[in-house]
Amino acid sequence: MKLWQKIYLFSILPFIIIFTLASVLIIERNHSKLLQQEIDTTLRENMSIRSTMEAIVPFLKIYRSPDYEQTVWTTIGNEFVAKNSDHTMYLNIIEEPNRVAYSNIDFAIPQKWEELQSPAKDEILSILSDVGERTILFTSSLVDLNDRKYSIRYMKDVTAVYEERVEQYQFFMKVDIIACLLYLILMIFISKGLTRPIERMVRTAKVIAQGDISKRVDVNTKDEIGNLAENFNRMVQVVEDKINELELNNLEKQRFIHDFTHELKTPLTSIIGYANFLRVTKYQEDVFVDGLNVIHDEAKRLESLSLKMMDLILIREDHFELSMENLKAVLDEAEPVLTMKAKERQIQIAIDANDCWMEMDKDLMKMLIYNLVDNAIKASAEQDTITIKVYGEEQRCVLVVADQGIGIAPEHLDKIFEPFYVSDKARSRRYNGVGLGLSICQSVARMHHGTFEVASEENVGTTIKVIFETGKRNEVKQ
């Protein structure tokens, strides 16, 4: 059973029960109120008859005639009957023990009324009883007049009150049927409207399950369903991002393997080729020296490649403990090695460093500095100067390496951090470059919450700025 059908069915039963109970309570309350009004009115009229009879007593004492008394009681009875001609009422005045002074009763008094025919003084008894198809309200009181006791039996037909209750129930049944039909029709639209967003989510989920993860639920409500749809879309977005990330990583791995294979193939081909050439060629010193030089250079290239690969694998394992260190102190430790390496190319190293504390792995930070400076040296000509700066900004440490070298073409700037990517293949091969230096630098920087800013102009130079987020304030010096 669908959700809208459950809502539809489970809402009908409470509606019918509540509507029916409310209607019954209203009808019964109205009936009780009307009936009580009739009872109160009948009791008052009984008392009014009694008071009228008591007021006539002085005249009865004057005349002391049975015929006169009969005439008086008949007149009083007829006046009350005439006054209440719009209601079916009955009056029976009995002079005890059993002489009828007045009566307009047209039915036999039920046996159970006999117990009410002798009330106590100043007491009015009443009872409701069915007589045939009618319901009669019977009241009885006793009055002493002229040393004689009179029983006043005043009765009123209240069948109309009960008939009105029946009519109200009949009317209610019609209203109930109409209300239920209208409610059923209305609830079809309401239940379907409430569950329509869920149905859209189900359809969207089926589409996503079939592979279209770009699909989203279009629900704009502000209730719990809208919140569910929003979280559903957010979940799908996360899944899509993860899938895209996995696909991108897979492509990067495939490209990495391809490039790595290509990088291995070139020096191995040279080594195998020259080794085979020297093996089958008659010895000539100059030829052998040239061949061995090529083999040596290509072997060194393989060695450089293997070392860079080990660095990259080690970094990506991400098993390092960071400690609070001064970036200036790390640069000071690396300065002798950098100066010696630059001196081989007759290049000057200029260092301008200020204290800047951050959490780091010292060995990895040195690796980053070595690779950045090594790239700058390879790009520089003799007598050029490489400038290295360290300074603090608010909650940042900044490392800058700037050279005066050949620069990087604009079309290469967005690719320089890719593994094995080199913008100048001839220069890289001359210095055993394998295009892993900046990829290693990016991995190290990412571990230390660092980002790169690269500015370069061909034949002018390149400036690489690494900005580390430290999370604590550093002294601003540049």
DSSP-derived secondary structure for 203-251 = HHHHHHHTT-TT-------SSHHHHHHHHHHHHHHHHHHHHHHHHHHHH
Q: In the structure, what pLDDT confidence band is assigned to residue 435 with cuts at 50, 70 and 90? A: low
Are 9 and 157 within one domain? yes
User: Domain holding 375: CATH number?
Assistant: 3.30.565.10
Instruction: Specify the pLDDT at position 318.
Output: 58
Question: Is residue 195 in a domain?
Answer: no
Question: Is residue 221 in a domain?
Answer: yes
Pairing of strands 99-103, 89-95: antiparallel
Question: Is residue 171 in a domain?
Answer: no
pLDDT mean across residues, the chain: 80
Q: In the structure, what pLDDT confidence band is assigned to residue 257 with cuts at 50, 70 and 90? A: low
User: Domain holding 255: CATH number?
Assistant: 1.10.287.130
Residues in the chain: 478
pLDDT digits (tens, 9 = 90+) for 468-477: 998 765 554 4
User: Domain holding 92: CATH number?
Assistant: 3.30.450.20
Are 314 and 327 within one domain? no
Question: Is residue 173 in a domain?
Answer: no
Q: How many domains does the chain have?
A: 3
Using alpha carbons, select from 3, 17, 1 the residue that is nearest to residue 183. Answer: 17
Question: Is residue 205 in a domain?
Answer: no
Are 367 and 445 within one domain? yes
346: left (phi over 0), alpha (psi -120 to 50) or beta: left
Instruction: Specify the pLDDT at position 347.
Output: 92
Using alpha carbons, select from 156, 157, 120 the residue that is nearest to residue 141. Answer: 120
State the average pLDDT over residues 300-329: 73
| Dist CA 74 CA 443 (whole Å) | 122
State the average pLDDT over residues 188-204: 79
Residue with the bigger pLDDT between 321 and 114: it is 321
| Under 8 Å between Cβ of 197 and 226 | yes
Residue with the bigger pLDDT between 478 and 272: it is 272
| Dist CA 435 CA 372 (whole Å) | 12
Using alpha carbons, select from 456, 449, 405 the residue that is nearest to residue 427. Answer: 405
**Domain range holding 379?**
320-478
| Dist CA 429 CA 420 (whole Å) | 12
pLDDT digits (tens, 9 = 90+) for 29-39: 999 999 999 89
- Residue 77 confidence (pLDDT) above 60: yes
State the average pLDDT over residues 422-439: 54
Are 158 and 227 within one domain? no
409 φ/ψ angles, rounded to the nearest 5 degrees: -65, 145
| Under 8 Å between Cβ of 419 and 426 | no
Question: Is residue 197 in a domain?
Answer: no
CB contact set of 356 (below 8 Å; sequence gap of 6+):
326, 327, 328, 390, 391, 392, 397, 398, 470, 474, 475
How far is C-alpha 112 from the geometric centre of its chain's CA atoms? Answer: 71
424 φ/ψ angles, rounded to the nearest 5 degrees: -125, 90
Q: Which residue has the tokens 């009307």?
A: 34
Are 26 and 141 within one domain? yes
Quickly count: other Cβ atoms within 10 Å of residue 362's Cβ.
Answer: 16
| Dist CA 61 CA 51 (whole Å) | 17
Q: In the structure, what pLDDT confidence band is assigned to residue 345 with cuts at 50, 70 and 90? A: confident
| Dist CA 457 CA 422 (whole Å) | 16
Residue with the bigger pLDDT between 308 and 76: it is 76
300-318 in b/e burial notation, b at 16+ Cβ within 10 A?
ebbebbeebbebbebbeee
Are 120 and 147 within one domain? yes
State the average pLDDT over residues 283-312: 76
pTM over 0.75: no
Question: Is residue 280 in a domain?
Answer: yes
Residue with the bigger pLDDT between 103 and 314: it is 103
Among 277, 293, 319, where does a domain finish?
319
Are 61 and 111 within one domain? yes
| Under 8 Å between Cβ of 390 and 397 | yes
Are 379 and 293 within one domain? no
Using alpha carbons, select from 262, 264, 242 the residue that is nearest to residue 254. Answer: 262
Quickly count: other Cβ atoms within 10 Å of residue 78's Cβ.
Answer: 13
Instruction: Specify the pLDDT at position 319.
Output: 61
Are 342 and 448 within one domain? yes
Of the candidate ranges 13-22, 77-86, 137-146, 181-190, the one whose mean pLDDT is the lowest: 77-86
44 φ/ψ angles, rounded to the nearest 5 degrees: -65, -40
Q: Which residue has the tokens 């009422």?
A: 89
Classified as helix, coil or strand, 367 is helix
Question: Is residue 204 in a domain?
Answer: no
Among 285, 303, 319, where does a domain finish?
319
Quickly count: other Cβ atoms within 10 Å of residue 476's Cβ.
Answer: 11
Gyration radius (Cα) of the chain, Å: 56
Instruction: Specify the pLDDT at position 447.
Output: 83
Among 98, 131, 165, where does a domain finish?
165
pLDDT digits (tens, 9 = 90+) for 104-148: 887 777 766 665 656 666 778 888 888 888 888 888 888 887 777
70: left (phi over 0), alpha (psi -120 to 50) or beta: alpha
Give percent helix, percent strand, percent coil of the chain, each to the nearest 5.
60, 20, 20
State the average pLDDT over residues 87-92: 80
Sequential DSSP letters for 379-407: HPPTT-EEEEEEEEETTEEEEEEE--SS-
Are 395 and 469 within one domain? yes
Burial of 55 (0-12, 13-18, 19+ CB in 10 A): exposed
- Residue 165 confidence (pLDDT) above 80: yes
Instruction: Specify the pLDDT at position 433.
Output: 47
Residue with the bigger pLDDT between 388 and 97: it is 388
CA angle 215-216-222, nearest 5°? 170
Are 305 and 384 within one domain? no
Are 22 and 156 within one domain? yes
Of the candidate ranges 141-150, 303-312, 349-358, 465-474, the one whose mean pLDDT is the lowest: 303-312
